[in-house]
Every structure is written in structure tokens, then in C-alpha cells.
Amino acid sequence: MSALKTWTEGHVHHIRLNRPDVKNAFNERMIAEVTEAFLAVRAEDPFRVVCLSGEGPVFCAGGDLDWMRRAATWSKDENHADALALFRMLLALRECPKPLVAAVRGFALGGGSGLAAACDRVIAEEDTQFGFTEVRLGIIPGTISPFVLEKIGLHAARDLFTSGRRFTAAKALQIGLVTDVVPTGTLDAAVTAALKDYLLAAPQAILQAKELAFEISHDLLHKPLKTLGPKVASRIAAKRGDAEAKAGFKAFFDKKPPPWAAP
């Protein structure tokens, strides 16, 4: 049985972890299949948003116990290759050209919290438990750390990485790992409503807006703010002149839905 379920429904492409018998925990097969699924997403695909979820009551409990047991017997080189595969999987999520929404319930522990960190929007039920629990197994959250630190920053990571304690969805929202917390039992409806946000936005503008967010955040770390004016002005000037923007402005002034708005 595949470790994933994938399907496209209207303007939404779904990727669902499919190992519910082990709480959707990672092993080599799942890592390879998730990587392949996200690398296959292209900017030109007709769907507008990707939704990541887990089959059953748990989003992802982290590493599969059998996988970790075998890893303990591997050489340093074997463990390096295995960890690099996990990094590449998370990178494939982060660099997905489409907006990526995660639907999280139950648990998102270790690599499960890493998955959430690599997504653009994370909607979690209020009783979901998160945690960077690696230190309690004698290891460290090494592979997931770049994606998590990008989301939650050093202050929160120093506490949560070193204690390994579990924390609530409310705490995850506070530190920026999660974007929305919803009552338990309402996740599916909340995600369906959230996905509609992306169906009201212009398809090419969505792609460019996500790209812009990453690009300018990188520039802010390496360049003086005052030097970015020409770059951002050039980006918006080019976008204002394209056909999509002209159609959007026309619809706005005519008080009509834009041509891309999905029902």
C-alpha cells in the first residue's frame, strides 16, 4: 500500500499521509513518496492550492519506531544520507510553488512538527499536541531545524528544542508554528473554508506573492532596507501591467467578480 494518497478536487490538490496504523510516522518509503509528490507540483498546474493532511486521527507522530531502530545500527555515512533525504523532503514542501495548507489533528511530533513548519498555512485542532521531542530520545532536531527556526525564531526554539516538551496548539499559534486553531471536530470544515481563500485570488499573483515573500525576507537579512526600493517597485510595476491585473482592476471597478474567482 502506498504511503500517500493524492488526488485533485477542483482547484485543490490533496496530498495525504497514509500510514494510519503507525500514526503516519515517517520511514524511508514515506519520505521518498512525499518528496516525489511535492517535486511533481508545478507552477503551471491547473490547481491553485495544495492541502497536506494525515489519514486517521493523527497528522504525524514523527519517526517510525522500526525506522529509528534500524537507523541506530547504521554507519555515520548511512545516517547522513538518510537525514539528507528527510531534509530534501521538507525542502520540497517549503519550495512548493503553490500555497501549501496543512490540516493538523491529534499529534505533530518531531518530524511531524517539522512538516507543519514547512507549510505556508497550518490549521490545527485545539487539542493537537506538538513537540520537538528528539532530545528525549537522545538525538536532536537537526534536519528539521532550518524550517522550524524560520517559522518560530531562536527564542522559542531554545526552549522547545532543549526541553523536548510537548506543547498545545495555542502555544504553537503563539510562536508562529500554526496560523489557525479551530475547535476539535471542526478541522475538515475549517480547512474547506480556508482553501476557498485561495480560489478568490488571481492564480499568477498567488505564485508571485509567495515567491516575493521568500525573496524579500532573504534580502532583508543581507541587504540594507533602503536598497530594496527599486527591486520591489520593478516587481509591482511589471505585475500591474499584465493581463491578469488589468482583468482584476476592471472587475473591481465594474463591481463584478474577477474572471478567476471560483464559485
The predicted pLDDT at position 99 comes to: 97
Phi, psi torsion values for 207, nearest 5 degrees = -60, -45
CA distance 132 to 111: 8
Structural domains for the chain: 4-198 (3.90.226.10), 202-253 (no CATH)
pLDDT tens, residue by residue, 117-150? 999 999 999 999 999 999 999 999 999 999 999 9
Q: What percent of the chain has pLDDT over 70?
A: 100
* pLDDT over 90 at 157, yes or no: yes
pLDDT, tens digit, 9 for 90 and up, residues 70-114:
888 889 998 899 999 999 999 999 999 999 999 999 999 999 999
Helix (H) or strand (E) holding 104: strand 100-104
